[in-house]
Each structure stands twice: as structure tokens, then as C-alpha cells.
Structure 1
Amino acid sequence: MKNKTKGITLRLILYIIISVFLIVQLYPIFWVIMSSLKTPDELMSGPPYSLPNGIYIGNYITMLTESNMITYFKNSTIVAILTIAFTILLGAPAAFAIEKLKFKRANTVLMFFLIGIMIPIFVTLLPMFQIYNSLGLRNTYLALILPQVGFNLPICIYLYTGFMKHIPNSLLESAVLDGASSFKIFRKIIMPMSKNITITIITFNFVFVWNEFIFANTFMTSSEKKTIPIGLNDFVGLYGFTDWGATYAAIAATILPTLILYFFLNKKVIEGMSAGAIK
């Protein structure tokens, strides 16, 4: 009886800690969304923690009509889709070759890729800026896609190799005996089995690319090519005046895609992160 009471107490303490953690993490998002639905008068005179009296969409209309947010959304979407596509198209075959084809120096090649995880982004900005300036790549999508593919590849290859390590070689040998080529094995066996890992990579890369600020702030000066993190600065007006309602609406619209993506794919992401942990 005493042990049972102790177990209930520990579980209750754990639930309280988790609840506090969730409140700390989720309240800022809830507060921004609620503030984006307030009228200008409510934002100016009402307490910051109060709920809106109704659903006011004027801030979202202002955000869409008096700024370039649609352009910024388009640019961020293009950069995110192309970055994720190139990362997977390069990372998955590379991991398959390293882990399953077992060519000479495969482990050395893997270590070479993993070194990229330890390279700080900041030390590459000046060389990339000079290169892009010489090649005329500034204010182009490639200026954002190329470095992000490069920095995302190491973790992509690491996750794929960690999963492929536990795919039985006997399965691949059976496919070879049936006349399947390496490309067919990769396309028909490896990639379908790696679905959860692929979804995990897509989710994490999307969040990283969607919120990326450093490269966009360094390489993008044209308003037609700015992405969302840089475009949010447009809501700061002359002499520091800020339309807070439109700003909250822009922030809410910015975080919405990542929340929706993770809400629908969180189960696959958890399965993908734990894939390969148990053989």
C-alpha cells in the first residue's frame, strides 16, 4: 500500500512538471494568436493577457494587403521545398551507398560528411558572400538553397545510415539474386522501408529552413526575394512605430505551417527518431 501511494505521488509530481513545461512552451503561441484577433483598441487599452472580445480578422487583412507577406510566403515555400528535395535526393542515395554497397573507405566518407555537423554557420558567411557576389547568385533562391542543403546533408545522411544499418542484408541479397539492380533495390526496397525516417527529415528540415534567418539576412537584399523571417521586419515602421495587430497576425501566420505539419506528422517523426534503436 505504501509503495502504491509513493508511485501515485511520483506520477502526480511528474504530471505537474510536464504540465508546467507545456504551459511555458505553449502559452507564448496562444498569446500571439489571441493578440492577433484583438482590435486596435483592445491592444492599446486592454491588459495584454486578456482574451479578445470577438474574432477580429482586420489584422490579417492589413497583413495581407499592406505588406509583401504573400511574396515572402511564396519565397519561403519555394526555398523549403527545393532544399528538402535536394537534401533527400542527395542524402538518401549517399547513405545507401555508404551503408549497403560498402565500397572502399565508406566509413571515411561517412566521417567526412559528419564533420559538417561541427562547422559553425557563421564561419562560412564571408567566403560564401564573396563567392555568391562573384557568381551573381545574391538575391537568388540558390543563395539560400545551396548552403542549407550543405548544412542539412550531414544529419540527413546520419539518420538514413542509422536506419539502413538494421535492414537485413539477406533481404537485399535475395533481391540481387532475383536480378534487381542497385538502383531498383534502393527505389523499391530501401526508400519504402525508410518512410518514417524520410518524414522525420522533411519535418525537421522544413522547420529549420522555414525559420532560417542568417543566410536570408546575409544574401537577400531585394524585397522580391526575401523570406518570411526577414519580411517580418517590414512591420516596424518609421521612427519605430509598430502596427502590433498586423505584427501578431504575421507571426501567427508564420508559425501556422510548422504547427500544422508537426501536428499531422508527429507520430511518424517519433517513430522515425526511434527507428534503428531496436534491431
Structure 2
Amino acid sequence: MTALTAAGPGVRRPVTVGRVLGVIGIVLLILIEVVPLIWLFLSSLKAPVEFSSKPMWALPDGLFLQNYVEAWTRGNMARYILNSALATFPAIVILIVTGLAAGFALEVLKWRGRGGVLLLFLAGLMVPLQMILLPLFAIYVKVGLLNSPLALVLTYAATGLPLTVFMMAGYYRSLPREIIESAIIDGASIYRVFFSISLPMLRNAILTIAVVQFFFFWNDLLFALTFTTDNDSRTIQAGLLNFVGTFGQTEWGPTFASICISIVPTLAIYLLLNQRVMSGLADGAVKG
């Protein structure tokens, strides 16, 4: 089955079965991703009586914003968000600094054994995170880091370093080698090449890695639940587990409201930086 449809002034593109199936698949994926978010937001606006008197897919009768007030005050969401920020952003800074230095050393500088060092970083991607939970828990207990943001910062930085170095090495590999060689011929030092030549060309790469790692760390539950046993020190994902016990089985409104609040930072960052991140991913995939 083929047909012709206009794709622009003077251009007609064929409509094939594969193209139609592809569009249908994209629409289904969008529905799978978007419909639950819409249902979650609408459910967070329902009054408590609506959850027992109406079907779960029914629209709310009004805007019951008290659910968000309850989630923010009784649910301790402000504390959870602060704990997540204290654990996430310092870890991202550490990863960016170390990733830039490691990527520069592995791809720009020439020295014996750099290929083997890169393989060692890649080997870190193959280590299951569950295997390091017990050793890290024992270490943090002995040094007194349990229920501390520093425990999560160190864990996030260590577990995120292999992927960061791997991605940063790819970005350095895609840089035009002629620019770096010209700067060296003109007498630029290694530090000048790093800060003045390569760093400005890696702004999209830095942003891409920071956003990718932010999603991983902000949505982490495994480490947060293991290393933060005190309720006041838990991050937002671990704190959400307390909402069912706090509000009970009938107060779903505040529970859904708290989930919506936890989604806002990641959704806002994605909407604001989506184009820059896509550009950064394309830069790392194509060799300059």
C-alpha cells in the first residue's frame, strides 16, 4: 500500500506501511508517557471523598489545592528537596571537574597506557550497584557518614565517574584536532589549551553530562534508602515512601501531590535544556 502526500513546495513523499506503523508507534509511546502524568496531576487535585465515590479515571470536581499544602507541610517535602539538592549538585560538580580532566588526559595528551586506563574506567560500568551496597554501608557506619549528605555525594560521584569519563572522552575525541595542534604550535601551554581552547568548545557536553547525571541522582532510591535511615536526612525519592504510612490508605490526594512536586525539577530542566542536551549528544556521536 503506497500513496503520495505533499511534503513541501514541489516535493511529494510516499506514504508507506512502514511510515504509518512508525507514526502509530510514536503516538503510542507518547500516550504511554504522557497519559500517566496527566492522570497523576488530575488525581492530585481531587478531594478525599472523590477517591472513594468515583472511578479512578474520573475528572476532579474542582481544584483541591489543599493536597499540595498537606504534602509540603505535613509531608516534609521542603526538607526532602533540600537533602536531594545537597546530595545531587555537589556530586555533579565533582564529576564534571574530574571528567573534564580525565577526558583531556585520555584523548588529548599522548602517553603510554592511556587506552588501558580508559578500559579500567569502562570496567566500572559493568559492576552491579547492588554489589557495593554492603561494603559501602559498613564503611560509612565506621566513619560516621551514615545519614549524611556526604555519603550520597561520595557514592554518586564514584558510581557516576565511569560513565562521565566515557562520555567526556568521546566529546574530546570529536573536537577538531587542528585547533588544538595550532594552539600548541603557537606556544600555548597544556593548561592554556585545556582552559582557553578545549573548555569553551565543550559547553554543550558539560551541560549534557550534568543533566544526564542529575536525572540519575535525583531519581535514585537504592543508595538513598540504604545510606539514609533517618527520616530527616532522606532524599525526595526515599521520602516519598513515607507518604503512604503518613497519610494512610485513604488520603491519596496529598500522596499524588507530593509525587507531582518531586517531578517538577526534572521536568523543568528537561523542558529548558532539551535542545542543548540533544545538541550535546550529537556532538559526542560525531567525530570532528
Q: Tell me the alpha carbon deviations over residues 50-91 of structure 1, each in whole angstroms, 9 at most, x when there is no partner.
A: 222222211000111112111000000111111111111111
Contact persistence 2:48–2:250 (CA under 8 A): no
Q: Find the aligned partners of 1:267 and 1:20 in 2 and give their Cα distance.
A: 23
1:202-213 aligned at under 5 Å gives the runs 202-213=210-221
Match of 2:9 in 1: none
Among 156, 159, 174, the residue aligned to 1:148? 156
Match of 1:189 in 2: 197
Q: 1:129 and 1:242, CA in 2 relative to 1: closer, same or farther beyond 3 A?
A: farther
Amino acid at match of 1:231: G
Q: Find the aligned partners of 1:73 and 1:133 in 2 and give their Cα distance.
A: 24
Gaps in structure 1 of 5+ consecutive residues = none
Q: 1:238 and 1:4, CA in 2 relative to 1: closer, same or farther beyond 3 A?
A: closer
1:29-48 aligned at under 5 Å gives the runs 29-48=37-56
How far residue 239 of structure 1 moved from its aligned partner, in angstroms, is: 10
Match of 1:122 in 2: 130
Match of 1:71 in 2: 79
Q: How many residues align?
A: 279
Gaps in structure 2 of 5+ consecutive residues = 6-12
Contact persistence 1:34–1:51 (CA under 8 A): yes
How far residue 193 of structure 1 moved from its aligned partner, in angstroms, is: 0.9
How far residue 242 of structure 1 moved from its aligned partner, in angstroms, is: 4.8
Q: Find the aligned partners of 1:137 and 1:227 in 2 and give their Cα distance.
A: 15
1:64-143 aligned at under 5 Å gives the runs 64-143=72-151
How far residue 237 of structure 1 moved from its aligned partner, in angstroms, is: 2.6
Contact persistence 1:33–1:248 (CA under 8 A): yes
- The normalised TM-score by structure 2 is 0.91
Matched, 1:4 2:4: yes
Match of 2:225 in 1: 217
How far residue 2 of structure 1 moved from its aligned partner, in angstroms, is: 4.9
Q: 1:19 and 1:2, CA in 2 relative to 1: closer, same or farther beyond 3 A?
A: closer
Contact persistence 1:236–1:242 (CA under 8 A): no
Q: CA RMSD in A?
A: 1.9
Q: Find the aligned partners of 1:115 and 1:278 in 2 and give their Cα distance.
A: 24
Amino acid at match of 1:7: P
How far residue 159 of structure 1 moved from its aligned partner, in angstroms, is: 1.1
Q: Find the aligned partners of 2:97 and 2:57 in 1 and give their Cα distance.
A: 46
Stretch of structure 1 that moved more, 65-74 or 232-241: 232-241
How far residue 136 of structure 1 moved from its aligned partner, in angstroms, is: 0.9
Match of 1:26 in 2: 34
Match of 2:166 in 1: 158
Q: Tell me the alpha carbon deviations over residues 111-153 of structure 1, each in whole angstroms, 9 at most, x when there is no partner.
A: 1111000000000011111111111111111111111111111
